[in-house]
Every structure is written in structure tokens, then in C-alpha cells.
Structure 1
């Protein structure tokens, strides 16, 4: 099989490639992201890639940098095992979050062109349905199909109850209980891994993502660490994002664990995750009801009647406020960028007007 086809190249990508004048460039897929350097799979094999100076300059004014899973335009350097990345093909899907520690809204791309996103949470003290709701919003916003994996089932006595709880907060989303230690649920996971299909894993630190990669790949390609017994928290085992070709077909992206998931934007994910609350809210007296202390609030009534979990409503309101704040930050950042553009262009316009007038007077 063609090397690129193993890594997800298809007739659709071929058609998209042929629509543009790519010159002497060739397609390649980013398999690992090390910041300034990337590993890129080509028809001849894997090589190192770096962005061209022109591409770096263009990205300084905005836009997401290349990510694992991206298809890129690559110029291979003759006689060397490296190449220059000149562009990124339009992404089919993109998994992103708000970049941590930034005052302005900035997108951090986690992986691109992913078909299925495994949302992993371990069945120990780290188990948290409210966190899973946030991961689901990220998945739906990204345009990928989410699948929930409840890992480390060997550490839990009520795995079935927790699976049922997850099914309630994620209607229609597959939920699988797995244990790499006891080889439980492997056939359910591998059913998603087909030729050309890209699957990514995400979750908090220590939830078992790297263990799942090794378990599925039947290798020790990813390092793992034990979690702390005191609080079931793990350390970052995976330090970079990497895409693996699996022996049974399909591709898997492992990503570093997240201490905290900050959502970047909302493209209908909030409404899709909280469909129950959105449906109940249609019965509120006021269309802009915040479900706090307004009169005739159907959502608050549902909580009082025991039809809706109070914690789920709290998370809905918290996430809604967070997304609105992110939108405001993004709008402020855009206004600032527009002002900077004007401040640069204005002296140029004044200088141009001066010379035009002088040439006219001297003429």
C-alpha cells in the first residue's frame, strides 16, 4: 500500500491537492510536533520538517501553527533527511483549546484531521462527569465524533454505574469500560481503528492514554508512569503530540495530559452537550432566562423536582459564562490588532500623500 494512504491520504485529499498549483512541493503528514521542528511522513518515509521563513512571518499576524495530523506542502531538500514546510492544506477537523496562561484569547491546536476522539477518564478518584462535559463540548466544536473510554476498570467496583452516569450526560455517545491491565474491552476499542481512520486520545494527566496506546499497538512506544496514590493524579507522561500507525490499521494520536481544559470557542458544542437543559429552558417565561432567580424558570423547577442535577446546571452556567468571556477577549484582541494595522498603515499613507503632492507641485 502507498505509504501516504496508510497515513490517511485519500481520493478527497488528492482532489484538494490537485486544485492548487503546488509547484515542486509534495504532500506529507505531520506525525510529531516538537515546537519548532516536526516529523513529517512522506511517500519515501519520515523526515524532519521546518516552516519556511515566509510561512512563519505570515503566522505572526494570526492563525494556527501546523499540528499533528496536518497535511502539508513539503519541499524536500536534496540529499538531506529534512524538508521545508510551505503551507498547510485546509483542515477537515481541528481539535483546539484556549492556550493556557494567556490574557487574550489564543487558540492552541491539539490535533488536525481527526475522525474520532477518545475522551479518556480513569475510574479512580480522578473520575469527574463535570470535566467530561467540557471535553464533550471541545469534541463537538471540533467536528469529530467523540467516544468515552472509562479506563482502569480494575480499580473500580461500580464501573457499570459510572458508565450509566456517563451515558446520561452524553446521550448518543458510545461509552466503553476498559482495562489494559486485565485486557478488558480491547475489541470495542479496536473496532474503531480502520485503515485511513485517525483517532486521537485526550484527557487529564494520569488517566491512562499512553497505556492505552501501548495496549492497542501491542508495543511500548509510549512511556508511562504510575499515578500518585494520595490523589490519583498523574504527571505528564507524554511530552509532545505524536501520531502512530497501528498494526491492525488506523492511526492514533497521543497528546499530553491536561491539568485544566480551557475552551477556546463554541460552535454549537455547548448546546449539543446540554440538550436536556436547552429543551427544558423552552418552558421558561423569559427567553433570556439565566436560570438563577427569575420568575417561572422551568430549569430551576426541574432541579427542585429532581428531574435535573443541580451540579449539571451549575456547570452549564459556568461554561456558558466562560465562553461568553472568551468571545469578548477575542473581540478585544481583534480590535487591538486592527488598531495596530491602522497605526502601521497611516504613516505610509501620509508619506505617500506627501510625495504625490510634491511631484505634482514640481511637475
Structure 2
């Protein structure tokens, strides 16, 4: 695989260029993180591919981030992100986990077989809206069912402006419908659950089998999780693509705006309620309840909206408490060090 790129090939944009000061314009070398391996980073730059140690002072980074290197090939700093995908860490751990950064378009990949799930698609759309990227829903395995158009229409009803494409990931010509989003200089991330067909789709777009894939299990129609790490891969079109491991658990760490944007139809209906603080339960002249009773609004969609709102509020409060505790601990360390220095002086 070619590992020599121009900055434009790697997705360098004016947004990043404007972050450099005059000295950095002449001496700094921008590189982009292509892969992470514990304390080592694989980066791509104009002069090739490099493996770098991750300094503790760098902070949390992820695939897609841009770094500035000095003349000694050491990391100076991390550039501000144009977009960032993050979720709450799986399990009981209270932390955010970065998924990818500086992405232009997110392909939300969902299989059309037994794994088809509208609630999950809405969850991923909230993640994409929070990140600040363009969502495109990619429905895979269309060759396995005979009612693909019906399921596509169900997804379209989530948002009539949503871009949706159906593909058979094993046929390269089928994936060509995605090429308009894969132009030179663009970065795409593939998101979806295990077995949705992300790695197969990546291989179709790459034109070669780089990502491992697994066969579908006949008993439940599901694939097995194959991608175990994220990597930035170049497409022949000049775009960059990031395949991600299937997420069995996607706890949202998004802001309230992401939920409202994902469920814009419900937000618009709520503005028509008589009371601004309407709970859409027993209040008179409730536009949301009226829409459900008339069949305009699907009750499944409204229930999922409430579920994601509760989750967002709970996770936001939990993460805020964690950040507050970390800030207090940092102040404690600084005070302790200051007292220690004073005592040494005496």
C-alpha cells in the first residue's frame, strides 16, 4: 500500500492550516494518525509513514487526528479537531472513548437481514450529528432479502432529507453508489454493529481485501465481529476511509442538540403544544400525542426519543461529575507540589 501522500490526499483543509502560527508554517510537519498500538502511533505525512512514541503530555488522541512534528520528528502538539466521534466507554467505567476524528462523512452501516433495527440507526445518527459530520445510511446485504425497498422506506421515514443507499458489499459495482462521498481529500468513517458488513464494504471500496471478513451464521443471519482496531486507509479515489470495530454497546456521550437534530420531527411538533413544558402525557392540546394518535408519528420512534433523552441526561451528568472530580484532583496535586516546594525552601 502506498504510504506517501500529499497533505491534500490526507484530508488537510484550511481549517487545520489556520491553526498554524508563522513559525510553524516554516518548520512544523503536519502528520495524520493512521493507527494506534498502545503507546505507539502510526502516522502518515508528506515524506512517508512513521511510528512515533506517544508522549504522556499529548493527551487522548484517535485515528484521524492531525499532529504537528518538529524538525527532530517529535510531537509538538495536537491540532483542534474539525469533528470528533465519541461514546461513553462500555461497562461501568465513567469515561469518554474517542472513535475517530476529522471525518467529513459517516456511513452508518446496517444489515437488511435479521439484524435490521431502526432504534439502532437512530442511535448512530445521534452520534453523527453530535460529531458534526454528514450521515449516510448504508443498508447492506440487500441480496439476502426480497423486501429491501420496504425496509429502505422505513429508514427514509426517519428523515426525508436523509441520504440512504443499498448495497451488496461483496459486489464492487454495487458499492459504486457511495463514490460521490469518496472524492479526493474527503475522510469517511464506517459505523455499525458487529456483522453489519463494514469490513466487506471497506474491501469493496478499496478494491482489494485488506480488512478481514467473516461469513454469515445461517442460524441467525448475523456476521461475526472481524475488525479489532481502527485504521486510516487510502481509497483509489483519493479519499481516506476509517473502518471501526463493531460496537456491541453504544452508550451516547452526546449533547442534547444531537438528540433534537436526530428527532427533528418530534422537536417541531413539541413547539406546537399549548404548554412549553408539555410532557406529552395528559396535557390538553398536545401536538405530539395528537400526531401519534393520528398515525403521523410512530410510537416506536417517540419511545426511542425518550429513551435516548434519558440516557443523554444521565451520561452527561455522570461525565460532568467525573470532569469535576478530575479538576479538583488536579488542583489538589498542584497545591501539594506547591507546599512541597515551599517546605524544601525552608
In the superposition, the TM-score normalised over structure 2's length comes to 0.90
Any idea what the Cα deviations from partners look like across 1:307-353, whole Å, max 9, x if unmatched? 21111111000000001101211221133223323433445666788
Any idea what the Cα deviations from partners look like across 1:98-137, whole Å, max 9, x if unmatched? 1112442x22111111111100001100001111001111
Whether 2:29 is the aligned partner of 1:26: answer: yes
Determine the C-alpha separation between the residues in 2 that align with 1:136 and 1:15: 29
- In structure 2, the residue matched to 1:86 is 76
Count of residue correspondences: 343
* Change in CA separation of 1:49 and 1:284 when aligned onto 2, cut-off 3 Å: same
Determine the C-alpha separation between the residues in 2 that align with 1:12 and 1:352: 42
- In structure 1, the residue matched to 2:66 is 71
* Change in CA separation of 1:318 and 1:12 when aligned onto 2, cut-off 3 Å: closer
Determine the C-alpha separation between the residues in 2 that align with 1:46 and 1:265: 33
What's the CA shift for 1:86? 3.4
RMSD of aligned C-alpha atoms?
Answer: 2.5
Any idea what the Cα deviations from partners look like across 1:243-278, whole Å, max 9, x if unmatched? 111112211111111112111121511111111111
- In structure 2, the residue matched to 1:133 is 122
Listed as ranges, the gaps of 5+ residues in structure 1 are: 60-64, 78-82, 359-363
Determine helix, strand or coil for the equivalent of 2:157.
Answer: helix
Pick from 38, 43, 51 the counterpart of residue 40 of structure 1. 43
Whether 2:110 is the aligned partner of 1:107: answer: no
Determine helix, strand or coil for the equivalent of 1:190.
Answer: helix
What's the CA shift for 1:164? 1.1
Contact 1:4 1:41 in 2 (8 A): no
Pick from 167, 176, 181 the counterpart of residue 170 of structure 2. 181
Any idea what the Cα deviations from partners look like across 1:123-177, whole Å, max 9, x if unmatched? 1000011110011111111000011100110012111111111111033121011
- In structure 1, the residue matched to 2:212 is 223
What's the CA shift for 1:14? 3.3
- In structure 2, the residue matched to 1:210 is 199
Determine the C-alpha separation between the residues in 1 that align with 2:200 and 2:5: 29
- In structure 1, the residue matched to 2:272 is 283
What's the CA shift for 1:11? 4.7
Whether 2:98 is the aligned partner of 1:98: answer: no
Determine the C-alpha separation between the residues in 1 that align with 2:255 and 2:21: 32
Any idea what the Cα deviations from partners look like across 1:54-86, whole Å, max 9, x if unmatched? 33xxx3xxxxx1111111123576xxxxx5433
Contact 2:211 2:227 in 1 (8 A): yes
- In structure 2, the residue matched to 1:52 is 55
* Change in CA separation of 1:355 and 1:35 when aligned onto 2, cut-off 3 Å: closer
* Change in CA separation of 1:95 and 1:32 when aligned onto 2, cut-off 3 Å: same
Any idea what the Cα deviations from partners look like across 1:168-190, whole Å, max 9, x if unmatched? 10331210111123456433111
- In structure 2, the residue matched to 1:80 is none
Determine helix, strand or coil for the equivalent of 1:215.
Answer: helix
What's the CA shift for 1:294? 4.1
Determine the C-alpha separation between the residues in 1 that align with 2:22 and 2:140: 43
Q: Which residues of 2 match residues 268-279 of structure 1 at below 5 A?
A: 268-279=257-268
What's the CA shift for 1:232? 2.9
Listed as ranges, the gaps of 5+ residues in structure 2 are: none
* Change in CA separation of 1:134 and 1:18 when aligned onto 2, cut-off 3 Å: same
Segment drifting more, 318-327 vs 13-22 = 13-22
Whether 2:154 is the aligned partner of 1:159: answer: no
Contact 1:3 1:45 in 2 (8 A): no
